[in-house]
Structure 1
Amino acid sequence: MGEQGATAEGERLRRWRLVLGADGAEGTGQTLTGRDARIDEAMDSLYGEGGPPGRRGTGRTAGLGASAPSVARWLGDIRTYFPSPVVQVMQRDAIDRLGLGALLMEPELLEAVEPDVHLVGTLLSLSRAMPETTKETARKVVRKVVEDLERRLAPRTRTTLTGALDRSARARRPRPRDIDWDRTIRANLGNHLALPGGGSTVVPERLIGYGRADRSLKKEVILCVDQSGSMAASVVHAAVFGAVLASVRALSTRLVVFDTSVVDLTDQLDDPVDVLFGTRLGGGTDINRALAYCQSRITRPADTVVVLVSDLHEGGIRDEMAARAAAMTASGVRLVALLALSDEGTPSYDREHAAMLAALGAPAFACTPDLFPEVMAAALENRPLPVPDIGA
């Protein structure tokens, strides 16, 4: 084997040693030193005992210690050695495997964490138990994630929805009091009718109105969001989108969150962080009660889109939920059910309820944040939704 081949083989064995951990070291013949040894120690702290195959039973006791400083050092190590997406996965595993949720209430630990949507969900579930000294740090972590999401999602959402609302407004015939005669005349200058005594007049075949400036003619959107524990990432994205939709002047937006009770957070939509800290992740689910509240706030069904963000695992009265959904769609409301509003794919969900909603013309599907603007635009224009596989 040449020098290059030997180098490649050594690199391959080194990588296998890092994957397998100390328990698999004998087969590779590799001894780790320097940076590799520190990477191995960071991984073994998380995965060494009871971890995945190869990193199990290494002889060391897995764990990060029972103090925030030791965890903070470990967080600093993994941020040094791994790219951000890997850091986020390892943080999530540490919270799930080693019970670090309580330590997240330590301000010094939060300052060392790599913020992401899943961490926000964990912090929100702990928010009511947090001491005041930690809450401000937690808000800073949540705000960083929210601002990152807004930068990525807001511009395209506003552009897409504004275009959809413009098309919708142009397609409607304004009432006489709402006609913009200057724009109507300019749009119909090519349509002339000869008058009996000579001359001609413009025939307004196409009427253009002030409709979008009139609040009473705004399209109405209600985001109805399940805040049970499994929906944490969806709640975070829904709060951001709720704030973005509220900033579109041609829309009237309402945000409702629910578990077994219903909370209207519309008055907090100017700050998604306030919205998120107004939620209570981890409760039960009463979709029927939430839809009843939304139904009570609808004044113009034909101009209303209700987006139900839920995995549809109903804990309330199932038959009443189905009847309420049927009544809403029959009245002209455009009802859309998002099984998830996240990048995680389709979650576990109630297929019977998804099929029921689909039969009513209310498709149920998982939606990524990047697709959400197109879904909303299609719903506002009352056209088929841009989703390949709709229904149960």
Structure 2
Amino acid sequence: MIHRMDLREVLKDPVLSERLTPSMALLEQILWDKGNLSGPALQNAKKLIARYVDELSKVLKLQMRQVTLRVHDNRVPPRRIFRNLDMKRTIWKNLTNWDPNERRLYVDRLFYRRTGKKSLPTKLIIIVDQSGSMTLAMVQTTILASIFAALPKVIVHLFAFDTRVIDLTPYVHDPVETLLRTKLGGGNDMRLALDLAAPCIDSPQNTAVVVISDFYDWSDFFSVLRQWKESGCHLIPVGSLHTTGYFAVNPEYAAKFKEIGAPILSGSPKKLIEQIKKVM
């Protein structure tokens, strides 16, 4: 409480607040205490959050660029037209037909580039645990959601839950505003979030569902997620988003997710980006 009261006084002073170095620990303190901030203190808090979000966004956007979001679909045969002709491969594969006397290369097989693309699902539904232990994941998730929401033809829905649920979809393009609307707390009831998100799934085959939690949750959530997966949704359960440190995931549900072919992902945000790429 003393630390929070000191922070409130610092945030009231624009000169002092400007000297603060944005960090995960500071951001967590602000999010816990944001209900007690108003006026200049709240505005300075927003600036600090924005500075931290901007720094982290640069890293996540770089990781995003490193993962190609549109990939060749090998199930689509290449169109046999001159524009798609792979000249280098055609020459290389036909070198055995070279006639040194006539100095001619006889081509008996043409090779074409694949141009068929696999499109992104039209919807990405992100459901994230906002209890106190998941603060880092919450921060990184909101930034990732804003990056995906900026992609063409992708609709992103974002829900945060503890023993309540908040639909953050209207603010998904603004991670700072999204974070300020979270309510860090204790306890889990994921089923509330799943019930709120369910109407968003109108085409399961074109929907990817990312669920981020430690899965220490005793609501009846697993049966719903299993049903979504069986209906054709791309289900990606995530235990944590971090680069270092220990993180506990409920071993009971770790085994259950593995049984249905959706093992829980844990690690850096880049792993999540790569996983989304695979299912998309």
TM bin, normalised by shorter chain, reads: 0.7 to 0.9
Q: What does residue 350 of structure 1 align with? A: 250
Q: 1:104 offset after TM fit, Å?
A: 1.5
Contact map agreement 1:329 1:361 (CA 8 A) in 2: no
Q: 1:187 offset after TM fit, Å?
A: 6.6
Q: Can you list the C-alpha shifts for 1:182-228, whole angstroms capped at 9, x where unaligned?
A: x95747877xxxxxxxxxxxxxxx8858x85xxxx744211111100
Q: Can you list the C-alpha shifts for 1:298-348, whole angstroms capped at 9, x where unaligned?
A: 111122211111111115x2xx21211210111111211211112244412
Q: What does residue 334 of structure 1 align with? A: 234
Q: What does residue 130 of structure 1 align with? A: 37
Paired letter, 2:71: D
Q: What does residue 162 of structure 2 align with? A: 259
Contact map agreement 1:345 1:368 (CA 8 A) in 2: no
Q: Can you list the C-alpha shifts for 1:20-67, whole angstroms capped at 9, x where unaligned?
A: xxxxxxxxxxxxxxxxxxxxxxxxxxxxxxxxxxxxxxxxxxxxxxxx
Alignment of 1:102-121 (within 5 A): 102-106=5-9, 107=11, 108=13, 110-121=17-28
Q: What does residue 292 of structure 1 align with? A: 195
1:188 and 1:365, CA in 2 relative to 1: closer, same or farther beyond 3 A?
same
Q: What does residue 92 of structure 1 align with? A: none
Q: CA RMSD in A?
A: 2.7
Q: 1:252 offset after TM fit, Å?
A: 2.3
Alignment of 1:173-188 (within 5 A): 186=81
More strand by share: 2
Does residue 225 (structure 1) correspond to residue 125 (structure 2)? The answer is no
Q: 1:285 offset after TM fit, Å?
A: 1.2
Query: Highest CA radius of gyration, 1 or 2?
Result: 1
Contact map agreement 1:342 1:369 (CA 8 A) in 2: yes
Q: Can you list the C-alpha shifts for 1:214-248, whole angstroms capped at 9, x where unaligned?
A: xxx74421111110000011111001101111111
Paired letter, 1:166: V
* 2:70 counterpart (165, 180, 195): 165
Q: What does residue 206 of structure 2 align with? A: 303
Contact map agreement 2:240 2:265 (CA 8 A) in 1: yes
Q: Can you list the C-alpha shifts for 1:258-302, whole angstroms capped at 9, x where unaligned?
A: 112222212212211011111111243111221222232111112
Secondary structure, counterpart of 1:313 in structure 2: coil
Secondary structure, counterpart of 1:224 in structure 2: strand
TM-score, length of structure 1 as denominator length:
0.58
1:221 and 1:114, CA in 2 relative to 1: closer, same or farther beyond 3 A?
same
Distance 1:218 1:241 in 2: 16
Secondary structure, counterpart of 2:277 in structure 1: helix
Paired letter, 1:255: L
Q: What does residue 224 of structure 2 align with? A: 324
Distance 1:142 1:189 in 2: 48
1:115 and 1:360, CA in 2 relative to 1: closer, same or farther beyond 3 A?
same
The answer for unaligned runs of 5 or more in structure 1 is: 1-97, 174-182, 191-205, 381-392
Q: What does residue 19 of structure 1 align with? A: none
Q: What does residue 314 of structure 1 align with? A: 217
Q: What does residue 363 of structure 1 align with? A: 263
Distance 1:285 1:258 in 2: 7
* 1:241 counterpart (131, 144, 156): 144
Distance 2:36 2:238 in 1: 30
Contact map agreement 2:127 2:211 (CA 8 A) in 1: yes
Distance 1:233 1:189 in 2: 46
Q: Highest relative contact order (Cα 8 Å, sep 6+), 1 or 2?
A: 2
Does residue 100 (structure 1) correspond to residue 7 (structure 2)? The answer is no
Distance 1:187 1:379 in 2: 32
Contact map agreement 2:254 2:264 (CA 8 A) in 1: yes
Q: Can you list the C-alpha shifts for 1:152-183, whole angstroms capped at 9, x where unaligned?
A: 111331451xx343335x7569xxxxxxxxx9
Give % identity: 26
Does residue 144 (structure 1) correspond to residue 51 (structure 2)? The answer is yes
Secondary structure, counterpart of 2:3 in structure 1: coil
Distance 2:116 2:50 in 1: 42
Secondary structure, counterpart of 2:126 in structure 1: strand
Contact map agreement 1:154 1:244 (CA 8 A) in 2: yes
Q: What does residue 3 of structure 1 align with? A: none
1:117 and 1:172, CA in 2 relative to 1: closer, same or farther beyond 3 A?
farther
Distance 2:37 2:47 in 1: 14
More helix by share: 1
Contact map agreement 1:312 1:350 (CA 8 A) in 2: yes
Secondary structure, counterpart of 1:371 in structure 2: helix
Does residue 153 (structure 1) correspond to residue 153 (structure 2)? The answer is no
The number of equivalent residue pairs is 249
1:208 and 1:363, CA in 2 relative to 1: closer, same or farther beyond 3 A?
closer
Secondary structure, counterpart of 1:126 in structure 2: helix
